[in-house]
Chains A and B, each alone.
Chain A
């Protein structure tokens, strides 16, 4: 599965600068209890970001100068191709693509604004075989900050990301890259 967020059709952080913490919850009728975790995201321009899942397992996905690497714990990082599905490490979300054409190629997108918040619904196009297990993706945002992303699968599994402490428009500390 290729997941593209923060494209031009959904909010992009001002100047592509972002720092945010997140928590997530994965539910499934086949898991005795939900998997929960937390982490943070840093973004310094379109082609520079770090996605760090701190709990329950340390995962670092970095995109620096267009090259994406995946690191589990202290293991040696593995370079992965931007559009690929990596077989050993599960699917990788490709964040901050900024490619609106790609978003509309993959999803039918609807948008509404209620009480100052933007509500987006992304339904995968039928032709996109790689996304056929996704029912819908809900995104809630305020201005250029995304607050919540919920992916619902057809088998009733879900993944929900909640973002907080978000700072946009200010260049994050370079040492984090």
Chain B
């Protein structure tokens, strides 16, 4: 009892408690960002696309889907889901209600004189047209048994409202609403589109959407039909919750594996506790600093952080592995202190290169990596020797005779096989391809992708983030551009039309032009004369005449736009860096190409917004840059080692383990048919930083006057530290996130190759010297 509660252990316990409290406090205060956007290299075009897309109405869109096998069951299914929806009052419908449709019809009829696009459609004011249109108006009445012949009907004697509406019909019959939703052609499927009122990054609110989806799926399953809720929020939420769960799981497995590997080699629980002190304190201090200076941190960087124990333990392992070989701390540091410091510096250099990528999550990984490695190094350098002193060392560690094994026939065969595979990997790695799809880094969303396909097949509704955005300095400028675009598409290819509420809210300039047109082309006398011969009384269209007189007197005669149009227009316009953008969701890339061609011909001020396309170019440039950065970092480290050791062969042998690890990762990617993504590249940089440590430890001993015991113990220390690193990163290979999988599998392959190179190949090169 006395032995346990001595001063040394009390200090140890104090540091551990402070670290754990600091860690729990920091983690609880940190906000996690799991958006895929933090994985994209930033440039102005992409930053704008991300900002515009994130705040477009599509980002806010939620779709309720119902499918029945017999269409007579549909009403019952809609009513059932309606009862579930009642509990989730934050959702607001985006399709017009029956009342809003009535308001829209009335508005268009009442203001038809000023809403009719005279510059596109034929002149409705010629004698012949007036006569034809008045006859059509009467015939329309005869064929519409329940037509409401109230005031709006009489403000539009020439049926202009039908022509105005036809311009929008090609863009989808948005006024054909069935139970506040849309029916598919076969009448068996139904969707209702809502606005969530919050964006996908708002995870706490997204949980309510997930609950709604779960409940609707449950209710529909009981009644034997298919129903679900679909939105981009659910993709974000699934990625976020999965990564959070996996980070916890990965951390747990990583720690367990690291402990098991440690205990295998060192057989001492107390030694393990002391050795883990730098890691626990380093991670706690890192989280604390991040919480203080960042507040919000990327999930990818945190997942990386969960595995950092595998790197941090290296300093403790190198220290305790060779503890019994030296009598004092001073001797220990004289002998291998430089290697440990160089190991720390080269790892920090490899992390420090990551921010040059310009990618948010890689900058975060760099910050996390540099902090955690530095804190762990400092703790193992200054604090660990207080608990584990070479002078009082009485720990017994397992000793494996690596040197003898490498000299056996079997060891020689393995050496040659290793050389063969490393040479082969260099050749294969020449065939790498680069990944240009940033969403390839996300996890698979099987259920959501299936839902998306069903909606696309039945309704052509897409959540692909492809937009046309009209650009201008003011809201009226972008509305004006959108109207020009609608007219251009209507006259060129009406199938490409999009719903444009702006068409029903003309700008002052358009109204002014239409005033001019009406004054120049319409004659009240001619109209009255034709009216006299019709079935209508001479005073039937007084509201219309009154509107015309207002126009003659230059009065503002357009009514306030229906609330539905105002809301839709407001949602479509996004402000970004002082510019206004009128966002139109196109969804389909082929359609976007056709639309763009027409709009370019008509010199309309617009941009296309497509994150996939906008990021692809930047992503490829980034990946090419990173490959160059990897070579630069290798060269910098090589120069540094050459300056310190003043021997080109030693410096070369020191960088050989990371280079062979790097080639093996590239070759593995080619063999498995994958393209190199940014997480593979991150792994390459880390392999350079970690692998060079192995090279330094082995080459410096073999080049110097070290004993066989020292050499053997060095191989053992890099094996045990390599195994803990592989244990830390290797478990990332179990992640469903392709980003984490790429990082984990690459690190495991790279570190194993780096170890085998250091163990089997460096001794041959340096010995030959």
Residues of A within 8 A of B (CB): 1-3, 24, 26, 28-33, 35, 37, 47, 51, 53, 56-57, 59, 65-67, 72, 80-93, 128-130, 132-134, 153-155, 157, 159
Sample of 10 A–B contacts (CB below 8 Å)? A24-B145, A26-B149, A29-B537, A66-B72, A72-B143, A81-B176, A83-B178, A84-B178, A153-B148, A159-B146
The A-B contact count (CB < 8 A) is 115
Does B102 contact A129, Cβ atoms closer than 8 Å? yes
Does B98 contact A91, Cβ atoms closer than 8 Å? no
Tell me the smallest distance from the CB of B570 to a CB of chain A, in Å.
21
Against A, the Cβ 8 Å flags (1 = close, 0 = not) of B182-204 are 01000100000000000000000
Does A90 contact B536, Cβ atoms closer than 8 Å? no
- A1-B146, A31-B535, A153-B150 known, 9 other contacts, Cβ within 8 Å: A26-B141, A31-B540, A35-B142, A47-B72, A67-B187, A84-B175, A90-B147, A129-B99, A130-B102
Residue in contact with A83 in the complex, picked from B98, B143, B150, B537, CB distance below 8 Å: B98
* B45 contacts partner chain A, Cβ-Cβ < 8 Å: no
For the complex, give the distance between the alpha carbons of A84 and B105 in Å.
Answer: 12
For the complex, give the distance between the alpha carbons of A32 and B74 in Å.
Answer: 46
- Across the two chains, which residue of chain A brings its CB closest to B75? A66
Does A83 contact B179, Cβ atoms closer than 8 Å? yes
Does A154 contact B150, Cβ atoms closer than 8 Å? yes
* B22 contacts partner chain A, Cβ-Cβ < 8 Å: no
* B517 contacts partner chain A, Cβ-Cβ < 8 Å: no
Q: Which of A33, A86, A91, A128 counts the most chain B CB atoms within 10 A?
A: A91
Task: Give the residues from 65 to 99 in chain B that come closer than 8 angstroms, CB to CB, to chain A.
Answer: 71-72, 74-75, 98-99
Residue in contact with A130 in the complex, picked from B99, B141, B541, CB distance below 8 Å: B99
Q: Which of A59, A66, A84 counts the most chain B CB atoms within 10 A?
A: A84
Does B540 contact A56, Cβ atoms closer than 8 Å? no
Residue in contact with B154 in the complex, picked from A3, A30, A37, A91, CB distance below 8 Å: A30
Residue in contact with B140 in the complex, picked from A26, A90, A155, CB distance below 8 Å: A90
User: Which residues from chain A contact B140 at a C-beta distance below 8 Å?
Assistant: 90
* B177 contacts partner chain A, Cβ-Cβ < 8 Å: yes
For the complex, give the distance between the alpha carbons of A177 and B162 in Å.
Answer: 32
Task: Give the residues from 118 to 170 in chain B that come closer than 8 angstroms, CB to CB, to chain A.
Answer: 139-151, 154, 162, 165, 169
User: Which residues from chain A contact B146 at a C-beta distance below 8 Å?
Assistant: 1, 3, 90-93, 159
- Across the two chains, which residue of chain A brings its CB closest to B177? A84
For the complex, give the distance between the alpha carbons of A33 and B138 in Å.
Answer: 12
* B101 contacts partner chain A, Cβ-Cβ < 8 Å: yes
User: Which residues from chain B contact A33 at a C-beta distance below 8 Å?
Assistant: 535
User: Which residues from chain A contact B154 at a C-beta distance below 8 Å?
Assistant: 30
For the complex, give the distance between the alpha carbons of A56 and B145 in Å.
Answer: 10
User: Which residues from chain B contact A92 at a C-beta distance below 8 Å?
Assistant: 146
User: Which residues from chain A contact B540 at a C-beta distance below 8 Å?
Assistant: 30-31
User: Which residues from chain B contact A86 at a C-beta distance below 8 Å?
Assistant: 176
User: Which residues from chain B contact A159 at a C-beta distance below 8 Å?
Assistant: 145-146
Does A32 contact B99, Cβ atoms closer than 8 Å? no
For the complex, give the distance between the alpha carbons of A89 and B144 in Å.
Answer: 6
- Across the two chains, which residue of chain B brings its CB closest to A133? B150
- Across the two chains, which residue of chain A brings its CB closest to B139? A57
Interface size on B, residues (CB 8 A): 40
Does B71 contact A30, Cβ atoms closer than 8 Å? no
Tell me the smallest distance from the CB of B302 to a CB of chain A, in Å.
49
Does A133 contact B148, Cβ atoms closer than 8 Å? yes
For the complex, give the distance between the alpha carbons of A128 and B99 in Å.
Answer: 7
* B708 contacts partner chain A, Cβ-Cβ < 8 Å: no
Tell me the smallest distance from the CB of A54 to a CB of chain B, in Å.
11
Does A157 contact B535, Cβ atoms closer than 8 Å? no
* B710 contacts partner chain A, Cβ-Cβ < 8 Å: no
Does B535 contact A32, Cβ atoms closer than 8 Å? yes
Q: Which of B169, B176, B187 counts the most chain A CB atoms within 10 A?
A: B176
Residue in contact with B177 in the complex, picked from A56, A81, A153, CB distance below 8 Å: A81
Tell me the smallest distance from the CB of A109 to a CB of chain B, in Å.
19
Does A35 contact B141, Cβ atoms closer than 8 Å? yes
Does A87 contact B150, Cβ atoms closer than 8 Å? no
User: Which residues from chain B contact A57 at a C-beta distance below 8 Å?
Assistant: 139, 142-143
- Across the two chains, which residue of chain A brings its CB closest to B180? A83
For the complex, give the distance between the alpha carbons of A146 and B71 in Å.
Answer: 31
Does A85 contact B75, Cβ atoms closer than 8 Å? no
User: Which residues from chain A contact B187 at a C-beta distance below 8 Å?
Assistant: 66-67
User: Which residues from chain B contact A81 at a C-beta distance below 8 Å?
Assistant: 176-178, 183
Q: Which of A32, A47, A130 counts the most chain B CB atoms within 10 A?
A: A130
User: Which residues from chain B contact A83 at a C-beta distance below 8 Å?
Assistant: 98, 177-179
For the complex, give the distance between the alpha carbons of A1 and B146 in Å.
Answer: 8
For the complex, give the distance between the alpha carbons of A89 and B266 in Å.
Answer: 87
- Across the two chains, which residue of chain A brings its CB closest to B103? A129
Task: Give the residues from 664 to 699 in chain B that come closer than 8 angstroms, CB to CB, to chain A.
Answer: none
Task: Give the residues from 213 to 251 in chain B that come closer than 8 angstroms, CB to CB, to chain A.
Answer: none
For the complex, give the distance between the alpha carbons of A164 and B220 in Å.
Answer: 45
Does B71 contact A67, Cβ atoms closer than 8 Å? yes
User: Which residues from chain A contact B99 at a C-beta distance below 8 Å?
Assistant: 128-130
- Across the two chains, which residue of chain A brings its CB closest to B70? A65
* B539 contacts partner chain A, Cβ-Cβ < 8 Å: yes
Tell me the smallest distance from the CB of A123 to a CB of chain B, in Å.
16
User: Which residues from chain B contact A37 at a C-beta distance below 8 Å?
Assistant: 142, 145
User: Which residues from chain A contact B143 at a C-beta distance below 8 Å?
Assistant: 57, 59, 72, 89-90
Does B75 contact A32, Cβ atoms closer than 8 Å? no
Residue in contact with B150 in the complex, picked from A53, A129, A157, CB distance below 8 Å: A157
For the complex, give the distance between the alpha carbons of A30 and B155 in Å.
Answer: 12
Tell me the smallest distance from the CB of B183 to a CB of chain A, in Å.
6
Does A155 contact B150, Cβ atoms closer than 8 Å? yes
For the complex, give the distance between the alpha carbons of A28 and B140 in Å.
Answer: 15
Tell me the smallest distance from the CB of B150 to a CB of chain A, in Å.
4
User: Which residues from chain B contact A154 at a C-beta distance below 8 Å?
Assistant: 150
Does B535 contact A66, Cβ atoms closer than 8 Å? no
With A3-B146, A28-B149, A59-B143 given, is the CB distance from A85 to B536 under 8 Å? no
For the complex, give the distance between the alpha carbons of A135 and B176 in Å.
Answer: 26
User: Which residues from chain B contact A3 at a C-beta distance below 8 Å?
Assistant: 146
Q: Which of B74, B146, B535 counts the most chain A CB atoms within 10 A?
A: B146
Does B144 contact A90, Cβ atoms closer than 8 Å? yes
